[in-house]
Amino acid sequence: MVLDNKLNITNDVELARVEERLSKSKANKLFKSVFLDRLKSGSFQALADIHHYLFGEIYDFAGKIRTVNIAKGSFRFASVVYLETSLKNIEAMPQSTFDEIIEKYVEMNIAHPFREGNGRSTRIWLDLILKKELKQVVDWSCVDKDDYLLAMERSPIKDIEIKLLLKQALTDKIDDSTLYMKGIDASYHFEGYILSKTEDLEDE
């Protein structure tokens, strides 16, 4: 079933192609603007604002808490019945150390607050916390897709793998646009989007 969208696209493949191009173009602009600097790192509102910025041209639900239960494979994300309470608890979690930040990231992934686009927006949200708290970000282009997906799948039970994987990819190049754009491409690659390169969408 194709997600309802503002573009009235009724084909899954076409929607994925357009979504990748439009949201990557927005991700490019996001880095160059002062938008991220105005957000409160670690807050749900910051994540909602990032999600809306990326997907607002495509989906009416951009930046809004989902109203349906969703799952990936056999894993069910947080029930809508408890979602708002979960998000408040996650927001209140500490974020002064690397371990605390990743634990918060894992919990937000379990919550999966949006209908679509959770992984891509939450990785930007994670980097915003790391940048503001530790003056570092993840070089996502150095993170292996299969290792990452497996570590995230296991993270609700044991988060040591995802902590180790992301710690090895930390960099202090927090203002490097090339690293950022490669990171966006890698982040989209994790979700199966590989048709466009972020650097090629600068003028869109």
- The torsion angles phi and psi of 198, rounded to 5 degrees, stand at -60, -40
CB-based contacts of 193-197 (< 8 A; 24+ apart in sequence): 193/16, 193/19, 193/20, 195/17, 195/20, 195/21, 196/20, 196/21, 196/24
Asked if residue 174 lies in contact with residue 31, where contact means CB atoms within 8 angstroms, the answer is no
Cα–Cα distance measured from residue 60 to residue 171, given in angstroms and rounded to the nearest whole number: 35
Which CATH code for domain 12-201? Answer: 1.10.3290.10
The pLDDT value given to residue 66: 97
The pLDDT value given to residue 107: 98
User: pLDDT 10s digit of each residue in the chain, 204 long?
Assistant: 899 999 999 999 999 999 999 999 999 999 989 999 999 999 999 999 999 999 999 999 999 999 999 998 888 999 999 999 999 999 999 999 999 999 999 999 999 999 999 999 999 999 999 999 999 999 999 999 999 999 999 999 999 999 999 999 999 999 999 999 999 999 999 999 876 677 666 555
